[in-house]
Amino acid sequence: MEWTKEMRYRRLEEININEMDELKKKVENSEWRQSFHIQPETGLLNDPNGFCFFNGEYHLFYQWFPLGPVHGLKYWYHTKSSDLVTWENVGVGIKPEQYYDSHGAYSGSAIEHNDTLYLMYTGNTRDENWERHPYQVVALMNKQGRMTKPQQANITEIPSGYTDHFRDPKVWKSGDLFYAIIGAQRENLTGCAVLYKSDNLLDWTFLGEMKTGLQGFGYMWECPDYFEDHDHGVFIFSPQGIEKSGDEFQNIYQSGYLVGQKLDLETKEFAHGRFHELDRGFDFYAPQTTLAHDGRRILVGWMGLPEIEYPTDQDGWAHCLTLPRELTIKNEKLIQKPVVELQKLRKSKQVVEATLTNETRKFFNGVSFELICELKECDSTQFGIEIRASDDEHTSIMYDSIEKKIILDRSQSGQPVAKKYGEQRKCTITDDQIKFHLFVDVSSVEVFINDGEEVFTSRIFPKKESDEIRLFARGGSTTFYAEKWDI
């Protein structure tokens, strides 16, 4: 189906009920609908937005084009949860209906102030020549969930020296003032982030560019997120235009972070270490963090990428969000663990301890499950797990003890995705003690290595009959202990 500009910018409010019912039926019949991830009822989901704890609940919005699996007129869709596990669909949170968001309510963030949730986002507009002008807008949501939008945008101009790629504000409070960091592109077509401040969240003053050690690092920095943890400052962002380097930067666009000293809000200087990718898998982008009610820093990402076709497109929908992850800092790196609340998903449990010698053996079956596997003794050159396996399909996650690498291979996973970007993802692990922690859903896998030192997130599209879980050892023997829960 060829999506024209007119089709992409149809409004949800103008759509015939019968058309929406037909689309919903088509989506519901998709064999790859997830069982425990946030996913759109119809159409396309992308960036998580407005992630926060407010009025006793977690609120999470996401970019949504309801009419098909393409990027079109974006709404904010609203979900909420009391426990980060079970999410309730609330409905449309922000509609693109004003002059300042006529062509989409783009990404942004949320912060509580005076018992009100302030949601700051980018309003996308296009003129008759299809030239973009972004606005930064602050909407308000009260405790009853009622949303109000301003008559005028809160930041109306792009500062001198930057292009119209200027979006995705993330807001935080320091002292008595509020700060926003916005992803930007300089006029020389390099990526960066800029800072604003406010004493009321409505009137904003431009401070200037955040000063980092990355001057020519891609052509646009999307979805910036800054937070502090004890004595550290952490800057998460999604730079576009990074060249491949060894096992790194293999996807069309990247997401990663810098850990350093706290951002100096007077000089705007951020002293930091090297850039690390957040996720080593095939499908991860545009993450956003928030503080949990108990002070934990929680991250959720988009399990997908722009400009990539997925097998679910034919079923009228695309993408989902990752499971929430708790972030901590260890040795100047972010450690990402699945939030402990996810244990609520666990149903029947199976346990096995065994030794494999140059063999592959089936131990479990499952389509939606959690699996923890620890290596006790590893004298093999390779040890791994095959999930969603059958005679002709499997996805493998493997430790190569010679290369000291973890390798995710989806070359046999079922329906192919973006093969031109490769079918393996790898990263180096220095620890000889290896622990795999997998969350597998109908069409995805999230793999946490060594309690969150590395993570691989990927969509997979096998046949529903492919449900075997196998373990293998090659080039010797490995003893392992594994626990598996149905979800």
Pick from 281, 283, 192, 296: which is nearest to 235 by CA? 192
- Over residues 347-370, the pLDDT tens digits come to 999 999 999 999 999 999 999 999
CATH topology for the 346-486 domain: Jelly Rolls (2.60.120)
pLDDT of 328 strictly over 80: yes
Q: What CA–CA distance (Å, rounded) separates 151 from 147?
A: 13
* Mean pLDDT within 461-468: 97
For 57, other C-beta atoms within 10 Å of its C-beta total: 15
Q: What is the pLDDT of residue 2?
A: 85
Q: What is the pLDDT of residue 432?
A: 80
- Over residues 10-68, the pLDDT tens digits come to 999 999 999 999 999 999 999 999 999 999 999 999 999 999 999 999 999 999 999 99
CA dihedral for 103, 107, 108, 109, sign (positive or negative): positive
What does the mean pLDDT of the chain come to? 97
Binned at pLDDT 50, 70 and 90, residue 430 comes out as confident
CA dihedral for 87, 89, 93, 97, sign (positive or negative): positive
pLDDT of 131 strictly over 80: yes
Strands 317-318 and 43-54: parallel
Percent share of the chain, pLDDT over 70: 100
pLDDT of 1 strictly over 80: no
Spot the catalytic one: 47, 225, 283, 400: 47
Pick from 235, 215, 109: which is nearest to 167 by CA? 109
DSSP string, 340-409: GGGGGG--SEEEEEEEEEEEEEEEEE-SSEEEEEEEEEE-SSEEEEEEEE-SS--EEEEEETTTTEEEEE
Strand partners, 180: 171, 196
47 is catalytic: yes
Q: Is 415 exposed, middle or buried (0-12, 13-18, 19+ CB in 10 A)?
A: middle
pLDDT of 120 strictly over 90: yes
Question: Which tokens belong to 41?
Answer: 């009822």
* Mean pLDDT within 297-303: 98
Q: What CA–CA distance (Å, rounded) separates 106 from 99?
A: 14
Strand partners, 113: 116
Q: What is the pLDDT of residue 428?
A: 97
User: CA geometry: angle at 344 spanning 343 and 345, to 5°?
Assistant: 85
Question: Which tokens belong to 172?
Answer: 């935080």
Domain ranges for the chain, please list them.
Answer: 5-342, 346-486
Q: What is the pLDDT of residue 48?
A: 98
Binned at pLDDT 50, 70 and 90, residue 101 comes out as very high
Q: What CA–CA distance (Å, rounded) separates 54 from 79?
A: 12
HSE-CB of 449 using CA atoms within 13 angstroms: 28
Q: What CA–CA distance (Å, rounded) separates 476 from 460?
A: 29
pLDDT of 290 strictly over 90: yes
- Over residues 54-99, the pLDDT tens digits come to 999 999 999 999 999 999 999 999 999 999 999 999 999 999 999 9
Q: What is the pLDDT of residue 159?
A: 98
Q: What is the pLDDT of residue 279?
A: 98
DSSP state of 155: B
CATH topology for the 5-342 domain: Tachylectin-2; Chain A (2.115.10)
Q: Are 123 and 146 in contact (CB under 8 A)?
A: no
Q: Are 144 and 160 in contact (CB under 8 A)?
A: no
Percent share of the chain, pLDDT over 90: 99
- Indicate yes or no: pTM above 0.95: yes
Pick from 80, 105, 79, 81: which is nearest to 94 by CA? 105
Q: What CA–CA distance (Å, rounded) separates 414 from 257?
A: 32
Q: What is the pLDDT of residue 431?
A: 86
